[in-house]
Amino acid sequence: MTIKLFNTMSRKLEEFKPLNPGRVGFYSCGPTVYHYAHIGNLRTMIHNDILKRMFLENGYDVHHVMNITDVGHLTNDEDDSGEDKMEKGAARDNKSVWDIAKFYKDEFLRDYDDLNIMRPTDMPHATDYIAEQIELVQKLEKLGYTYEIPGDGIYYDTSKFAAYGALTGGALSGNRAGARVEFNSAKRNPTDFALWKFSPVGVRRQMEWDSPWGVGFPGWHAECSAMGMKLLGNHFDIHTGGEDLSRVHHANEIAQSEPITGAPWVSYWVHFSFLVDKSGEKMSKSSGEFLGLDALRRRGYDPMVYRYLILLGHYQTQLAFSWDAMDAAAAGYKNITRRVADLLMDNAPGDVDATAVGAWHDKMLGVISDNLKTAETLVLVQEILRDGTMNAATKINLFEFIDRLLGLQFLDRARRIVERESADAPAEITELAQRRAAAKVARDWATADDLRAQIDAMGWSVVDTRDGFKIVKKDE
């Protein structure tokens, strides 16, 4: 199947050609574990997962690396200034940096699992690759790309790398002037960035290491170059991240890596657009109400509804989050699982029609392989449900594929509905329901309503059907 992805580097939709037949290596910039992930971060992780599932369904062997940033990410990314996010988070939580790294990583992985995102093949921590990061800086130093700002750190001289900023359309030096607060005036060029930061004099940081240049810690960008090269090699297929990363973080990763690899480091750069709020503001850890997956769980949403909402959009388009959008997604998701439950309860499912399964499989895989058109695959899901020519067994078989491809757990949720509905109601509930039916026949609506309320309060609901009623256990 032809696979097409939008490559930020060429600004074109390109046909994917693997470096090694049948294999794909991809690196995703992962979370900085100083706080809970917000649902914007999680949007990016869901798109990573779709990318991976698309390759798996196309028969590829996928090597996915996602780093855990537990050091070196400063509050001002563009100027390597401000506080270390990790140290700041530790002070806020009154814990050690190591403790918060573990805590927020575990919380992140809980969200990851609840959203049914497949775990990466490797999940390296920046702090486990300090030696590799020092080695990277040493290599760049030898090649003449670095300079020292006394009392501050070792910096990368971006003027030495002719292709600097190619990812976002070329030289950036003018680009950033005036964009932000004043730049570190000791830097040779505004776009230069720290490779190694010295620990401030007289301050003992919780995370610091010896290096040939003095005690300190790596600049944030160094980890992705060092770990990417170590785990995926000097040239790998795909590098992903949120749209904010292309201009600085990924520009810097390329500048650090390519003088060493001597050739393009990554074949395809894929960036996912932001989740924004109603006013178009980027969802961030500091903006307004903190929206983590937990805020959604607390309001009673199944995490799958959030995943469904994300897949209704395209990765190259910003998505505005609102509770109305969540409600609409919840209704859409429920509608599908209800219909899948009906398929599971079909008394005459028939035999699987392998030809029909093959045709729909190819159609859906074709759509998702064409630049990850998730919304269009969901339209096909509706078509499958509506199709009058396929029996229940065939449709259920297709849903096994749909769940593998989109990870939306339709069958699992449908099975829960079936379980709930087939749970035998206790005798007292059945009796109340019978009395309600009698009250209805007697047109005693008040009694009928009262009995319904009693049944409801006991965790069941009574549903009127063509030939009587059915008692169903309510959602937990």
Residue found by looking up tokens 């069941």 in the block: 460
Residue closer to ligand AMP, measured from CB, 146 or 246 = 246
Between CA 33 and CA 223 the distance in angstroms is 14
Residue found by looking up tokens 């599971």 in the block: 344
Report the relative pairing of strands 61-66 and 153-156 from DSSP bridges.
unpaired
Contacts of 59 (CB under 8 A, 6+ apart): 22
Interacting residue with ligand AMP among 124, 241, 292, 313 (CB under 6 A):
241
Burial of 469 (0-12, 13-18, 19+ CB in 10 A): middle
Residue nearest to ligand AMP according to CB distances in the complex: 242
Q: How far is the CB of 33 from ligand AMP (least distance, A)?
A: 8
Residue found by looking up tokens 């297709």 in the block: 398
Between CA 94 and CA 426 the distance in angstroms is 51
DSSP for residue 442 = T
Give φ, ψ of 63 to 5 degrees.
Answer: -110, 105
Q: Is residue 270 part of the contact set for ligand AMP (CB under 6 A)?
A: no
Q: Is residue 44 part of the contact set for ligand AMP (CB under 6 A)?
A: yes
224 binds, among Zn ion, ligand AMP, none (CB under 5 to 8 A by kind): Zn ion
53 binds, among Zn ion, ligand AMP, none (CB under 5 to 8 A by kind): none
Interacting residue with Zn ion among 24, 29, 51, 172 (CB under 5 A):
29
Contact window for ligand AMP (CB under 6 A) among 40-48, 87-95, 392-400, 408-416: 40-48
Strand partners of residue 197: 153, 217
72: left (phi over 0), alpha (psi -120 to 50) or beta: left
Interacting residue with Zn ion among 42, 117, 224, 330 (CB under 5 A):
224
Q: Is residue 41 part of the contact set for ligand AMP (CB under 6 A)?
A: yes
Q: How far is the CB of 73 from ligand AMP (least distance, A)?
A: 7
Residue closer to Zn ion, measured from CB, 235 or 473 = 235
List strand residue ranges (DSSP E) for 175-265, in order.
193-198, 216-218, 236-242
Q: Is residue 100 part of the contact set for Zn ion (CB under 5 A)?
A: no
Residue closer to ligand AMP, measured from CB, 220 or 410 = 220
Give φ, ψ of 213 to 5 degrees.
Answer: -105, -5
Contact window for Zn ion (CB under 5 A) among 222-230, 300-308, 314-322, 425-433: 222-230
At 203, list the tokens: 């301050």
At 376, list the tokens: 């269009």
DSSP for residue 83 = E
Contact window for ligand AMP (CB under 6 A) among 38-46, 293-301, 323-331, 424-432: 38-46
Between CA 406 and CA 427 the distance in angstroms is 41
Helix, strand, coil shares, percent, the chain, to 5: 45, 15, 35
Strand partners of residue 471: 462
Between CA 344 and CA 368 the distance in angstroms is 26
Contact window for ligand AMP (CB under 6 A) among 165-173, 193-201, 224-232, 279-287: 279-287
Q: How far is the CB of 44 from ligand AMP (least distance, A)?
A: 4
Going 172 to 173 to 179 to 183, the CA torsion angle's sign is: positive
Residue closer to Zn ion, measured from CB, 29 or 37 = 29
Strand partners of residue 149: 153
Between CA 230 and CA 125 the distance in angstroms is 13
Q: How far is the CB of 41 from ligand AMP (least distance, A)?
A: 4
Beta carbons within 10 angstroms of residue 108's beta carbon: 23
Q: Is residue 32 part of the contact set for ligand AMP (CB under 6 A)?
A: yes
Contact window for ligand AMP (CB under 6 A) among 142-150, 208-216, 277-285, 329-337: 277-285
Q: How far is the CB of 467 from ligand AMP (least distance, A)?
A: 51
Q: How far is the CB of 246 from Zn ion (least distance, A)?
A: 11
Burial of 222 (0-12, 13-18, 19+ CB in 10 A): buried
Interacting residue with ligand AMP among 3, 9, 24, 40 (CB under 6 A):
40
Residue closer to ligand AMP, measured from CB, 85 or 160 = 85
Interacting residue with ligand AMP among 5, 9, 31, 158 (CB under 6 A):
31
Interacting residue with ligand AMP among 26, 36, 274, 308 (CB under 6 A):
274
Q: Is residue 29 part of the contact set for ligand AMP (CB under 6 A)?
A: yes
Q: How far is the CB of 316 from ligand AMP (least distance, A)?
A: 12
Q: How far is the CB of 276 from ligand AMP (least distance, A)?
A: 7
6 binds, among Zn ion, ligand AMP, none (CB under 5 to 8 A by kind): none
Q: How far is the CB of 249 from Zn ion (least distance, A)?
A: 5
Binding site for ligand AMP (CB under 6 A): 29, 31-32, 40-41, 43-44, 69, 241-242, 244-245, 274-275, 282-284
What is the contact surface with Zn ion in residues (CB under 5 A)?
29, 224
